[in-house]
Amino acid sequence: MKLETLANAIGAELQGDGQHAVSGVAPLERAGPRELAFLSNRKYLSLLAESQAGAVILSREDLPEDFRGNALLTRNPYAAYARAAQLLYPQHAPAPGIHHTVILDRDLQIPVSVRVDAHAVIGRDVILGERVWIGSGVSIGEGCRIGEDTRIHPNVVLYPGTRVGARCIIHAGAVLGADGFGFAPDAGRYLKIPQLGKLVLGDDVEVGANTTIDRGALDDTVIGDGVKIDNLVQIGHNVRIGAHTVIAGQTGIAGSTRIGQHCVLGGQVGVAGHIEITDGVIISGKSQVTRGIRQSGIYSSGDAARPNAEWRRQVARLHRLDDLFRRLEALEAGLGPKTADEADKLENKGTEN
Amino acid sequence: MKLETLANAIGAELQGDGQHAVSGVAPLERAGPRELAFLSNRKYLSLLAESQAGAVILSREDLPEDFRGNALLTRNPYAAYARAAQLLYPQHAPAPGIHHTVILDRDLQIPVSVRVDAHAVIGRDVILGERVWIGSGVSIGEGCRIGEDTRIHPNVVLYPGTRVGARCIIHAGAVLGADGFGFAPDAGRYLKIPQLGKLVLGDDVEVGANTTIDRGALDDTVIGDGVKIDNLVQIGHNVRIGAHTVIAGQTGIAGSTRIGQHCVLGGQVGVAGHIEITDGVIISGKSQVTRGIRQSGIYSSGDAARPNAEWRRQVARLHRLDDLFRRLEALEAGLGPKTADEADKLENKGTEN
Amino acid sequence: MKLETLANAIGAELQGDGQHAVSGVAPLERAGPRELAFLSNRKYLSLLAESQAGAVILSREDLPEDFRGNALLTRNPYAAYARAAQLLYPQHAPAPGIHHTVILDRDLQIPVSVRVDAHAVIGRDVILGERVWIGSGVSIGEGCRIGEDTRIHPNVVLYPGTRVGARCIIHAGAVLGADGFGFAPDAGRYLKIPQLGKLVLGDDVEVGANTTIDRGALDDTVIGDGVKIDNLVQIGHNVRIGAHTVIAGQTGIAGSTRIGQHCVLGGQVGVAGHIEITDGVIISGKSQVTRGIRQSGIYSSGDAARPNAEWRRQVARLHRLDDLFRRLEALEAGLGPKTADEADKLENKGTEN
């Protein structure tokens, strides 16, 4: 693809030889004359001078004055790279058709543009949009609806009634719409609460491999448009996630919690049930969120690993904080006039958690 | 279903019109005249007055004097609701039969009440109880036993020799009885320890989607009756879990640990291997359990996420605890007669972790 | 198997009756005269005297002088036990052959020693080594390569282009080579970055049930020889893991991180992206690793669960550390000559995290 064409397609300004053609992408340090690279972090500026790349996507501010290669200038190099890579590596639309081993109801009306791979099983009253691609071994329960251009990778399971929007990607092994975890304690045993809600995914949602998202108990579980969910994430029943929120691997969100739009949850985050997190909240990896968050911003908890001996000492000190406070108070009492009232106030500040 | 009949069936006392009929359940704020709602938390009492529900399950204590709707009074509204919902939404027993694409040994004796869906694979010497329902794509290894009325959702894998009790529900993608994680270090490499034990699940166990429970190394891994396990939980080899214990999503239990009866483990809890937790222990979400617990009660660790700047300051302070203790000791030394013996005692209290 | 033969095969020194035969293994306390036991921890020495085991593997140092049973003496009893158990419980090589329900390209050349179970699906241009065993319901994408003697358990999914070495074991439900989690933010939405790298697994790798390892974005994700990975582990795109590293259950490793050889990561560990961990590092369970580690050794973070009331008090104290430091400084200021410069230095020590 000529750089001229590429620049146009991704909305970048070309500086250099528009007739030069590239056919693939590669990292800055490995890219050859027929490959496109990108620079999205000034940290790697030193690699730019030596790069053999046929062209580099970068921002005008990062462009060195003496750069003599071909440059595609844009405000958002990473997004421009995403667009260029999508163009240079088009997903081959697979040949449509339903494999002869697929099991489906004979009354099902499936668009001719749909592809269903071997051994998939499709239940009654399922509605599939145009160009849906269902991988091998997938199970689609009764009454599910899947929007156009959505791709479901092998061995995914959709429980009955699950709705998936258009242009979604569901990675292998994900389980959508299984029963939420609801039990009523009764005389030392647990009674199962029937899980009667659905799971509804918006458009342009991506769900990672082996991720599980439960159906609602009474209301539905709802995942907004453009939400991106990584692998091995667990989302409980009745959770609602706003549009364009991103959730990294192994994060868990307990039942009935609401998360706003444009949030970012790092990996292994744990969010308690029945709380509300507003729009634009960023939770750093492995944090624990036990209360609602009303203000956008970055939230964190936890501490980084350190050499074991140092950590042991720190934990030991931590367990002696009570003692420390008491000793400090004794010192203060010996030194000046602190009223009982003041001491009391200080004491009560300690109950906030 | 008439309220009279329902009250009888769930053991509630009816106050109102016994001839009124309901056909479904709904949340208090959305329920209409043909729907049943419940109130299990006084927090939602304000919704009760305005509810259009055909009847409400609640406790006598929570019943407002001026309530004029139909009420089903019971000590445990949540359990009564579970029973009512089970009655109003009966699981349709699926038509029995073995799909023609199922692969099984011709010597296998399968009760006629059993249902096996498409593309399931059942190994030699498997024993299935009455009315077992095996979903599509499930793999049941040689010599497994599955008790009556147990339901196995699509794409579950049972390794050879796994035993599942009666009335269990195994959700999609769960893997039961895979090899435990056992390796012997030997000259910089790891030798695999053959995993020769089984996995044995009791009756009335529910296992969440994509959860993994390993077989034992020498002894068996044993999950007691009535244990409820959420999605993406990992249970290591030789673990034993007592009856009616509940384990929330993404919790992990390392090998050879024993957990008592009637315990509750929150989500993302990590339990170390080779320890013992007694009956009636509650572990709050994301806690780390590294030592045995001999007394029932609630146990916790960790800290909640807070605004990033505040958290950074807290962590910095935490890393200076050593310094803090030393400075306090210096102050104390300058102020009064503290014997070396006393200082020593304080010091030694710090080694408990 | 005669003890004589066994001792030879596992490289142990026999003390006792070489003609005595054992046919299985069992724990020290349960083993009978025809069973082999082992002692790898002096903690269990008391069980040795009463054991009925036909023979015991242990180290010379642990052998009691008065022991009259048969002993197999070795420096590494656990490794010797692993070898003995492998000999006494040989994996039955399954009958080779391709089940008639398997879907594969007619041009595919598959060695006659290969076994493929029911309903597996094998894409174009896949290369399988000798004696590969592919379980039921497995999906092998186009262009994958699998080395000799590798076993793939049921319902595993290999995305196109994934390479698996020789003698690997991939447990049920694992997903290898799914797209990494890469999105470019663009005007409030996320654009998908095509994931163009591969996933490459070395020889003798074991991957646990429902574990997910992503393909690379541009470069490959690479798992070294002899790496052992437990269940429900998540490994992000472009990660590189050195040979003979062990990763316990539910651990997550974010994208582009490099982990050295001979490392041990405990369960539920979280490792941030784009960092480097050197060889021989041990990370204790549930730790969070946010920065690179340049020196081998044990690293930890977190704190153990304690009774809830105690934990609440500790957290409250922790949130008052700022206050504590200020009060201490006030006391110090009142007591002696501390320069502003000194105070400043102390303050700045607090920014290390």
What percent of chain C clears pLDDT 90, i.e. is strictly above it? 84
Helix (H, G, I), strand (E, B) or coil at A340: helix
Cβ contacts (< 8 Å) between C327 and chain A: which residues?
Answer: 328, 332
Helices B308-318 and C321-335, axial angle in degrees (round to 10): 50
Q: Would you state the structure tokens that stand for residue A35, as one six-digit string? A: 């490959």
Work out the pLDDT band at B329, boundaries 50, 70, 90.
confident
Say if residues C35 and C54 touch (Cβ distance below 8 Å): yes
Q: Compute the average pLDDT of residues C81-104.
A: 93
Q: Compute the average pLDDT of residues C319-341.
A: 73
> Could you give the CA distance from residue A39 to residue A12 in angstroms, rounded to a whole number?
14
What is the DSSP code (8-state) at residue B192? E
pLDDT digits (tens, 9 = 90+) for C119-175: 999 999 999 999 999 999 999 999 999 999 999 999 999 999 999 999 999 999 999
User: What's the order of all strands across the beta sheet hosting B252-253?
Assistant: B103-104, B121-122, B139-140, B157-158, B175-178, B212-214, B234-235, B252-253, B270-271, B288-289
Q: Would you state the structure tokens that stand for residue C117, as one six-digit string? A: 């179970």
Residue B105 pLDDT? 84
Domain C97-299 maps to which CATH number in 3.40.50.10490, 3.40.50.300, 1.10.150.530, 2.160.10.10?
Answer: 2.160.10.10
Q: For the ranges A330-334, B254-258, C67-71, C100-104, which has the lowest average pLDDT?
A: A330-334
Residue A335 pLDDT? 65
Asked whether residue C205 carries a pLDDT value surpassing 60, the answer given is yes
- The residues pairing with B252 across neighbouring beta strands, listed in sequence order, are B234, B270
Encoded amino acid at B45, one letter: L
Helix (H, G, I), strand (E, B) or coil at A121: strand
Which residues have a Cβ under 8 Å from the Cβ of C213 and sit 6 or more positions away? Answer: C174, C175, C176, C177, C199, C201, C207, C221, C223, C229, C233, C234, C235
What percent of chain A clears pLDDT 70, i.e. is strictly above it? 95
Residue B106 exposed, middle or buried by CB count within 10 Å (0-12, 13-18, 19+): exposed
Q: Compute the average pLDDT of residues A135-139.
A: 98
Cα separation values, C255 from B17, B187, B250, C291, C307, Å:
62, 30, 21, 14, 37
Residue A328 pLDDT? 85
Say if residues C28 and C22 touch (Cβ distance below 8 Å): no
Q: How far is CA A38 from the centre of its chain?
A: 23
Count other C-beta atoms under 10 Å from residue B43's C-beta: 8
C171 has catalytic annotation: no
ipTM of the complex model: 0.93
Asked whether residue B335 carries a pLDDT value surpassing 70, the answer given is no
What percent of chain C clears pLDDT 70, i.e. is strictly above it? 95
CA atoms within 13 A on the CB side of A229: 34
Residue A108 exposed, middle or buried by CB count within 10 Å (0-12, 13-18, 19+): middle
What percent of chain A clears pLDDT 90, i.e. is strictly above it? 84
Say whether A267 and C312 touch across the interface (CB within 8 A): no
pLDDT digits (tens, 9 = 90+) for C263-307: 999 999 999 999 999 999 999 999 999 999 999 999 999 999 999
Say whether A325 and C320 touch across the interface (CB within 8 A): yes
Q: Which residues of B are part of the catalytic machinery?
A: 237
Asked whether residue C335 carries a pLDDT value surpassing 80, the answer given is no
Residue B9 exposed, middle or buried by CB count within 10 Å (0-12, 13-18, 19+): middle
C164 φ, ψ to 5°?
A: -120, 135
Which position has the token pair 């009232």? A341
Share the mean pLDDT of chain B.
93
Say if residues B213 and B259 touch (Cβ distance below 8 Å): no
Helices A321-335 and C321-335, axial angle in degrees (round to 10): 40
Work out the pLDDT band at C42, boundaries 50, 70, 90.
confident
Asked whether residue A6 carries a pLDDT value surpassing 60, the answer given is yes
> Could you give the CA distance from residue C185 to residue A267 in angstroms, rounded to a whole number?
18
What DSSP string runs through A225-244?
Answer: TT-EE-TT-EE-TT-EE-TT
Which residues have a Cβ under 8 Å from the Cβ of B339 and sit 6 or more positions away? Answer: none
Say if residues C54 and C36 touch (Cβ distance below 8 Å): yes
Asked whether residue A79 carries a pLDDT value surpassing 60, the answer given is yes
Contacts within 8 Å (CB) and 24+ apart, B23-31: B23/B88, B24/B88, B24/B89, B25/A196, B25/A218, B25/B81, B25/B84, B25/B85, B25/B88, B25/B89, B26/A218, B26/B53, B27/A218, B27/A219, B28/B53, B28/B56
First to last CA, chain B: 59
Say whether B321 and A317 touch across the interface (CB within 8 A): yes
Against chain A, the chains showing at least 3 CB pairs within 8 Å are B, C
Helix (H, G, I), strand (E, B) or coil at A15: strand
pLDDT digits (tens, 9 = 90+) for B149-184: 999 999 999 999 999 999 999 999 999 999 999 999
Q: Compute the average pLDDT of residues B292-302.
A: 97
User: What's the order of all strands across the beta sheet hosting A169-170?
Assistant: A97-98, A115-116, A133-134, A151-152, A169-170, A206-207, A228-229, A246-247, A264-265, A281-283, A297-300, B306-307
Say if residues C270 and A268 touch (Cβ distance below 8 Å): yes
User: Dihedral of the CA atoms C272, C274, C275, C276 (nearest 10)?
Assistant: 130
> Could you give the CA distance from residue B239 to residue B214 in angstroms, rounded to a whole number?
9
Mind telling me how many Å the CA of B3 is from chain C's nearest CA? 43
What HEC string does A244-272 produce? CCEECCCCEECCCCEECCCCEECCCCEEC
> Could you give the CA distance from residue B26 to residue C64 in angstroms, rounded to a whole number?
70
Q: Which of A175, A328, A334 sits opposite B173 (nearest CB)?
A: A175
Encoded amino acid at B169, one letter: I
- The residues pairing with B214 across neighbouring beta strands, listed in sequence order, are B178
- For C75-99, b/e burial (b = at least 16 CB within 10 A) is ebbbbbbbbbbbebeeeeeeebebe
pLDDT digits (tens, 9 = 90+) for B194-240: 999 999 999 999 999 999 999 999 999 999 999 999 999 999 999 99
Residue B350 pLDDT? 37
Asked whether residue A51 carries a pLDDT value surpassing 70, the answer given is yes
pTM: 0.94
Asked whether residue C348 carries a pLDDT value surpassing 50, the answer given is no
Q: Compute the average pLDDT of residues A290-306.
A: 96
Residue A347 pLDDT? 45
Q: Which residues of A are part of the catalytic machinery?
A: 237
Q: For the ranges A37-41, B21-25, C162-166, C285-289, which has the lowest average pLDDT?
A: A37-41
Asked whether residue C314 carries a pLDDT value surpassing 80, the answer given is yes
Residue C181 pLDDT? 97
Cβ contacts (< 8 Å) between A268 and chain C: which residues?
Answer: 252, 268, 270
Work out the pLDDT band at A348, boundaries 50, 70, 90.
very low
Asked whether residue B342 carries a pLDDT value surpassing 90, the answer given is no
Say whether A173 and C212 touch across the interface (CB within 8 A): yes
Asked whether residue C310 carries a pLDDT value surpassing 80, the answer given is yes
Say whether A304 and C288 touch across the interface (CB within 8 A): yes
Q: Which of C89, C119, C250 sits opposite B194 (nearest CB)?
A: C89
**CATH class in words for A3-88:** alpha beta
> Could you give the CA distance from residue C136 to residue C123 in angstroms, rounded to a whole number?
15
Please, where in chain B does CATH 3.40.1390.10 lie?
Answer: 3-88
Residue A232 pLDDT? 98
The residue of C117, C156, C181 whose CB has the most chain A CBs within 10 angstroms, and thus the best one to mutate to test that interface, is C181
> Could you give the CA distance from residue A140 to residue A162 in angstroms, rounded to a whole number?
9
Helices C308-319 and C321-335, axial angle in degrees (round to 10): 50
Work out the pLDDT band at B352, boundaries 50, 70, 90.
very low
Say whether C312 and A206 touch across the interface (CB within 8 A): no
Share the mean pLDDT of chain A.
93
Which of the two residues, C347 and C175, has the higher pLDDT score?
A: C175
Please, where in chain B does CATH 2.160.10.10 lie?
Answer: 97-299
Size of interface A-B (CB pairs under 8 A): 226
Say if residues B155 and A139 touch (Cβ distance below 8 Å): yes
Residue A243 pLDDT? 98
Closest chain A residue to B36 measured between Cα atoms? A218
Helix (H, G, I), strand (E, B) or coil at B104: strand
Which residues have a Cβ under 8 Å from the Cβ of C339 and sit 6 or more positions away? Answer: none
Q: Which of B246, B302, B353 sits opposite A183 (nearest CB)?
A: B246
Which residues have a Cβ under 8 Å from the Cβ of A79 and sit 6 or more positions away? Answer: C184, C185, C186, C191
pLDDT digits (tens, 9 = 90+) for B69-123: 999 999 999 999 999 999 999 987 789 999 999 999 888 999 999 999 999 999 9
pLDDT digits (tens, 9 = 90+) for A195-233: 999 999 999 999 999 999 999 999 999 999 999 999 999
Q: Compute the average pLDDT of residues B21-26.
A: 96
> Could you give the CA distance from residue A62 to residue A221 in angstroms, rounded to a whole number?
44
Residue B348 pLDDT? 44
Closest chain A residue to C268 measured between Cα atoms? A268
Work out the pLDDT band at B331, boundaries 50, 70, 90.
confident
Asked whether residue C221 carries a pLDDT value surpassing 60, the answer given is yes
Share the mean pLDDT of chain C.
93
Say whether C135 and B139 touch across the interface (CB within 8 A): yes
Which candidate, B286, B146, B148, places its Cα nearest to that of B156? B146
Which residues have a Cβ under 8 Å from the Cβ of C259 and sit 6 or more positions away? Answer: C239, C240, C241, C242, C245, C253, C265, C271, C277, C281
